[in-house]
């Protein structure tokens, strides 16, 4: 996963979320179909995809998908 578009594909195809580029920057309450349950699946998936550990406490405190993306590529 290198770009935000890769991240978007992961959300759509691996988590099945109907999200767009705009949703990624929005707060979680604005993301269609978002549920806190998805956060756990997403974090597990990101670690598996990137092969690196995420700072989970930070990721759990993130306000948007974009913030999580930034943590994932920075990790």
User: Please, which residue, 13 or 29, has the CB nearer to another protein?
Assistant: 13
CB 70 → another protein: shortest distance, Å?
A: 19
Over its C-alpha atoms, the chain yields an Rg (Å, rounded) of: 11
The three-class DSSP label of residue 27 is strand
CB 16 → another protein: shortest distance, Å?
A: 4
Angle at 24 between CA 54 and CA 30, to 5 degrees: 115
**Which residues lie near another protein (CB under 8 A)?**
12-17, 33, 37, 40-41, 43-44, 56-57, 60
CB 50 → another protein: shortest distance, Å?
A: 15
Please give the Cα distance from 25 to 64 (Å, whole number).
6
């Amino acid at each position: 996963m290198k770009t935000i578009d890769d991240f978007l594909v992961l959300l759509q195809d691996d988590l099945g979320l109907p999200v767009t580029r705009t949703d990624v920057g929005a707060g979680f309450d604005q993301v269609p179909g978002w549920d806190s349950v998805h956060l756990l699946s997403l974090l597990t998936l990101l670690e598996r995809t990137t092969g690196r550990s995420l700072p989970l406490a930070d990721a759990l405190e993130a306000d948007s998908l974009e913030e999580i993306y930034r943590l994932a590529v920075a990790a």
